[in-house]
Amino acid sequence: MTNEQQSIRVNLCSSGKEKPQADQLAFGRSFTDHMFVMDYTEDEGWHEARIVPYAPLMIDPSAMVFHYSQSVFEGLKAYLNDDGEAQLFRPQRNFKRMNHSNDRLCIPPIDETFALKAVKQLVSIDKDWIPQAEGTSLYIRPFIISTEPFIGVAPSRHYQFMIILSPVGAYYEEGINPIKIAVENDYVRTVKGGTGEAKTGGNYAASLKAQEMAEEGIAQVLWLDGVERRYVEEVGSMNIFFKINGQVITPALNGSILDGVTRNSVIRLLQHWNVPVEERKISMDEIYQAYQEGTLEEAFGAGTAAVISPIGQLVWQEHMEINDGQTGAIAKSLYDTLTAIQYGKIPDPFNWIEKVDDIGENTLKATN
């Protein structure tokens, strides 16, 4: 399906909302002036692409998304570089993954090139909302919901593809400071043959209870595989890495782990630096043994929201303190390099950055 020739109708709001103060940026609580919307019907395919003022949806109570959660989403960010340009980090991977999720959830594929064009145009229009303070950015949330008014269990025949934007600060209150993670032994996020590889709401709904039951001070739980309950899978909103005896290890993509953009970038950076890195099965027994032998040198999470989150304490059998509870050298280098590339402060040897052209506001207003 190709929407490339399709144009995006733009309807600007008459007056913008007040923007949050730089020091009061929470994650995902305020949204910009505009949003992108596109509809799907069986007859017309994806159609009626539009950028309109951010506003509530009118949606039937029988819409399938409320009952059977047929939905997918993505998360990426726009950063402001020192020249005042907006730039995206590997956005093509997000839309490729969205189509992978769509396939698993029986949602019709989107045109990835067109989706990228839509993101760029929306970010350009709301560019004033990209915060400037260090560590802040504009979080971009593309998502698709099933909107057919029908309460039988079947794939929906109507969908809405939307993109909303939220100026954000640090994801964890701890920022780049080390967080505490507990291994989850009772609840399971997903299993091979399930939806773990897809970015779909049900995986996250399933994850809430474990977090609620976790002890005070636990930032996230670490999921084990659903079959043997031995192998590490991922953390709530991040992939996970361990450095053992000089080698970095991350769980291999096995069908139940999310193929993270930051995960992939970390692996490529480590390879570029000639740091040994392996994608493979890794059990909690192996990690615990390394801890006891003193070879568990670092642990960190990697994800779009938090970039790199060092893990200072990992709870399993006991409270394992890793690297004296301090941010490790590898985690620090990765964080510094990834954010420097994202904010355009250093060269981008991998061509990861996709710049957002300014759209003259006057041009837009003229067509409005």
Residues in contact with a copy of itself by CB under 8 A are 27-29, 31, 35, 54, 56-62, 65-71, 73, 104-106, 139, 141, 143, 145, 149-155, 162, 164, 166, 171, 186-195, 200-209, 211-212, 226-227, 229, 236-237
Work out how close the CB of 73 gets to a copy of itself at its nearest, in angstroms, rounded to a whole number. 5
Distance CA 221, CA 234 (A): 9
Shortest reach from residue 150's CB to a copy of itself, in Å: 6
Rounded to whole angstroms, how far apart are CA atoms 18 and 33? 9
Task: Please state the closest distance from residue 216 (CB atom) to a copy of itself, in A.
Answer: 15
Rounded least distance, CB 271 to a copy of itself, Å: 30
CB nearer a copy of itself, residue 82 or residue 186:
186
Q: Dihedral sign for Cα 134, 350, 127, 74, please.
A: negative
How far apart are alpha carbons 242 and 134 in whole angstroms?
27
Going by C-alpha positions, the residue among 189, 6, 1, 240 that lies closest to residue 99 is 1
Q: Which is nearer to a copy of itself, 86 or 188 (CB)?
A: 188
Residues 6+ apart with CB under 8 A from 18: none
**Beta bridge mates, 354:** 88
Nearer to a copy of itself, 142 or 328 (CB): 142
Angstrom distances, CA of residue 212 to CA of 183, 200, 217:
14, 20, 11
Of 75 and 344, CB closest to a copy of itself: 75
**Is 35 or 269 the residue whose CB approaches a copy of itself more closely?**
35
Q: What is the 3-state secondary structure (H, E, C) of 8-27?
A: CEECCCCCCCCCCCHHHCCC
In angstroms, the CA 363 to CA 155 distance is: 40
**CA-CA distance, 296 to 240, in Å (whole number)?**
14
Nearest-CA neighbor of 188 among 215, 214, 227, 238?
227
Q: How far is the CB of 185 from a copy of itself (least distance, A)?
A: 9
Alpha helix (H) ranges present in 275-368? 284-293, 329-342, 361-367
| 3-state DSSP assignment of residue 79 | strand
C-beta closer to a copy of itself: residue 27 or 288 = 27
In the complex with a copy of itself, which residue's Cβ is closer, 119 or 353? 119
User: Smallest distance from the beta carbon of 195 to a copy of itself, in angstroms?
Assistant: 5
How far apart are CB 5 and a copy of itself at their closest, in Å? 27
